[in-house]
Amino acid sequence: MNFPKIQFYLYLSLIILGSSIPGNSVPSILALSWDKLLHVFEYSIFGVLGYRAYKNKYKYVGIIISAFGIIFGCLDEIWQSFIPGRHPSYYDVIADGIGVILGVIIIHYIKNQSK
């Protein structure tokens, strides 16, 4: 396994770990004010790392990583429904989807500019 794939899978683990924190343990300043922006940022990194990990394996890596990111965001929200004090949100899934697509677009643009 190469290093970009290890980074990607460790990041997926970090997302799940963060989602496993009970709701009463999350600082209220993070939970309310910048929540959707944090989701976009978090999943933008997901898109960049996923693209880097699989860019040489799949022809349509951007589409595959974007779809996987949205599915992973859905599964993450379902997981949160089992954590005390956490609640799933469709808006979080939308923010996750925007983030992963944005991350894929940014890394794709950067890779094409360097050619």
pLDDT value at residue 29 = 54
Average pLDDT over residues 73-92: 91
d(CA 103, CA 94): 14
pLDDT exceeding 70 applies to what percent of the chain?
Answer: 89
CA distance 106 to 109: 5
pTM of the model: 0.87
Tell me how far CA of residue 96 lies from CA of 12, 56, 80, 89, 92, in angstroms.
Answer: 13, 24, 14, 11, 6
Residue 83: helix, strand or coil by DSSP?
coil
| Banded model confidence at residue 14, pLDDT cuts 50, 70, 90 | very high
User: What pLDDT, in 10s, does the model give residues 18-54?
Assistant: 889 887 665 555 545 577 898 999 999 999 999 999 9
